[in-house]
Amino acid sequence: MTEGEASFEDGVIADMRAHDGVVTSGPLAGHPLLIMTSTGAVTGDPRRAVLTWSRDGGDYVVAGTAGGSPKDPAWVRNVTRNPDVTVEIANRTVPARASIVREPDRTRLWDRHVAALPWFGPYPEQAGREIPVIRLTPVPPKQGA
């Protein structure tokens, strides 16, 4: 991530945290965003990603579009190797388990994601690849912990 990208992301996160998880200014204003922290596949270091989400029941659904880039974003590799993540949404952080969605659910969830977030529609053609769809399932706290 470049310095400019990190600065932009820091600004988005500050805006979200100041407004109960809602981005109020800039190009992402009004978009449903969450902050996912994963473990780096190579480094083992915490890695954050600001992601647009849709819902499937109690789960969050995110897509590895990388803005239409021909390569999957690094966080997809991270969650494939280390599926235990945290999700911050509406100023609340919860542990979750990430899973790459396979067919037939992948197409159903992609179609619902695009219906909720239409600007995602052109990404597969633009990227020249199938966009990975990831389910983030909140993990309930352990009883007696």
Q: Please write the tens of the pLDDT for every residue from 65-106.
A: 998 999 999 999 999 999 999 999 998 999 999 999 999 999
Structure pTM?
A: 0.88
Please report, as a single letter, which amino acid is at residue 50. V
Instruction: Count, in order, helices (H) and strands (E) of the chain.
Output: 4, 7
- Other CB atoms within 10 A of residue 118 CB: 9
> Coil, helix or strand for 99?
strand
pLDDT band at residue 4 using 50, 70 and 90 as cut-offs: low
CB 33 within 8 A of CB 12: yes
Please report, as a single letter, which amino acid is at residue 13. I
Angle, alpha carbons 56-145-49 (nearest 5°)? 40
pLDDT band at residue 30 using 50, 70 and 90 as cut-offs: confident
**Residue 103: its pLDDT value, please?**
95
Q: What is the mean predicted confidence (pLDDT) over 108-118?
A: 95
DSSP, res 142: P
